[in-house]
Chain A
Amino acid sequence: MSAELFHQIWVAGAMGLVGAIVFAAIGLVSGTDETTTLAPLTLLVVLLGVPAAGVFTFFLAGAVAKHMTHAVPTALLGIPGDTLATPLLQDANALRKLGVPHIALRKMISGAIVAAFVAVPLAVLFAVMLAPFGPTITKAAPWIFLAAAVLIAYFSPGRWASVALLLPFVVLIIALQTLTAKYNVKLSVSYFLGIAIGPLVADLFSVISPADRGRMKRDQPRTFQLAPDVKGWSGYFPNPLKVLDRKQTQWTLATATISSATFVFSPVAMTVVLGELVGSRIKHAYHRLTTVLAARNGVTEATYIAEALIPLIAFGLPLSPVAAGPAAPLFNAPPRFTVDAATGQTHNLHNLMNHWEFLGYGMLAVLLAAVVSYPFAMNFARRAALFVSRKVSHEAIIATFIGLIFVISVWEGQFLGLLVIMTMGLVGGLLSRILGFNTGVQFMGYYTAVLSVPALLKIFG
């Protein structure tokens, strides 16, 4: 028994370390969206047959590590590291122009590490509190997804247009499912990845089209100012509580707690709103900038952890934007993990791990990410940013992602998979760019098609 447990912890530790290292590196590359990177790699780990605890630590250590290193391009180059780094950009830019970008960076990463450590136990606690309602919620899942889709659509940039767009978008998904079903092919990852990579697919089509190319043309390459760095501590591992002042620590803890509880909202929205809340409470502009940055990056960690953990522990259903997107393979990765739409039956990490395991392995994952990512980002941020911006061309990044969509879609459904991923990507990307029907709403649209529509048909069919 104890030998088995030891083996499990060993596997979980090793997978967590791999996740932390891989995603600390990916975080340095600007524009690498969480969903496009976390979802396929986690899926791969699931399908390779890694034990449940290992899958979990891989995902969580990866997410936590990425949300620390994403601060590097954001602070030093002024380009957001990923989607969740966008709300941090304005304040980070202000500090960059003041000539102190390293301060922006340190406050952000220190906020992240503090928040990550408190978010795991809080998320588990909230999940345990919600768990008794699990069966009720599971039964009502199709309707909750429908309501959540409408709500998230309304709060997207497209407002009522997004709400109305849910209908044709869901019809498109059902049409594609019907098409592939004719050839006995059932796809899920291709839809996700198509939605996630949509903006790239839409941009590539625009570049080919003479009608739209003009909008994309540029006369000059983009210019980035890379500011000098100053090391303000001795040794390799700085103390985050000394990097933040007392008020900053308090605000980071407070916002991390709030965002751990509000797991159904979009992480970007939570990052913006809680940042504003903190900002309104700090009187001096400089102190406001640094405190808001620490708290906001803390929120990017806490909301990710909570949005993945709470639905996973309490319901086993992907009932949050993160669970429906980047964390999707923890819930649904057929044939190993499944969510049955009709009955609400699940077989995934929810069934394979207990509360204490979630807590223990969650803390292990955060610890590993902290050990790998925190000192690395604090000590080598500038050199890393310089390397990426000087050596890694955007063409190379695009080549990697195009390769990724081809491999994953052909792997899942041969030629049909490729057709689905292209269609979803193009339509989703254009809708997001032109009408503000963003990827978060599109993920909910997918779940509406898979879960709510069959339930609706049962009533009216």
Chain B
Amino acid sequence: MRSDSASPPRQLVEVWGDTADTRHLAWAIVIGIGISLTGFLIASRILVAHVSSPELARAYAMLAGLAGCVLSGVICAFIFQPKRDVVEGAASDPAWREEVVAQLAEEHGGLGSMDDLPPVVAREMKELEIYELFAQHDPAHATNRKAAP
């Protein structure tokens, strides 16, 4: 939706299931390591002197480190904008609907007959305005339908 053509060219990569900018990614990693590890190391220095048991001191130091992780995440969320285009609203494309119905018809079990629908489900489909969509496709595919076991 937004166009970023004015800014210097982005180097987008897909890492761990989503897109990120390589330069931003490098900075995010530096910030993540920097804040979390510093938080942890400072906390362990201070706590060892002030907490009675060393085990507990270590556990609290880890808590400080994890707080650092969350903090670095929040900072990065403020500095780096997401590289996603989120398109809002707009009822689904009619072509999409047809495509899905065609896809479902090809799958194992096919579309099935409207007669097989329990009344509750038929009502639900009418409320969602998809009853007609499936009903249109029914006779065409009824012959292909495999008998249910």
Contact = CB atoms under 8 A, between A and B. Distances in A.
B68 A224 contact: no
Contacts of A47: 55, 58-59, 62
A395 B112 contact: no
Contacts of A399: 28-29, 31-32, 72-73, 75-76
Contacts of B15: 200, 203-204, 207, 216, 394, 398
B86 A389 contact: yes
B14 interface: yes
A222 B37 contact: no
B92 to A, nearest CB: 4
Interface in B106-149: 107-114, 116-118, 120-121, 124-125, 128, 130, 133-134, 148-149
A227 B87 CA distance: 8
B84 A96 contact: no
A123 to B, nearest CB: 29
Interface string B35-69: 11101110000000000000110111111011011
Interface residues of B, number: 88
Interface in A386-430: 386, 389-404, 406-408, 410-411
Contacts of A286: 117, 121, 125, 130, 134
Nearest to A245: B120
Contacts of B90: 225
Contacts, number: 266
A223 B12 CA distance: 13
Contacts of A285: 101, 104-105, 107, 109-112, 134
Given A284-B114, A284-B116, A394 B18 contact: yes
Interface in A299-331: none
Most B Cβ at <10 Å: residue of A220, A285, A397: A285
Nearest to B123: A245
Contact of B116 (A103, A283, A393): A283
29 contacts: A48-B63, A79-B18, A94-B104, A97-B93, A98-B96, A98-B100, A199-B16, A217-B13, A218-B19, A221-B82, A221-B83, A226-B87, A285-B104, A285-B134, A286-B121, A286-B134, A392-B82, A393-B20, A393-B24, A393-B81, A394-B19, A395-B25, A396-B80, A398-B28, A398-B29, A403-B72, A404-B69, A407-B65, A407-B66
| Nearest 10 interchain pairs by C-beta | A403-B36, A399-B32, A407-B65, A99-B92, A400-B73, A284-B112, A403-B69, A396-B76, A396-B77, A395-B28
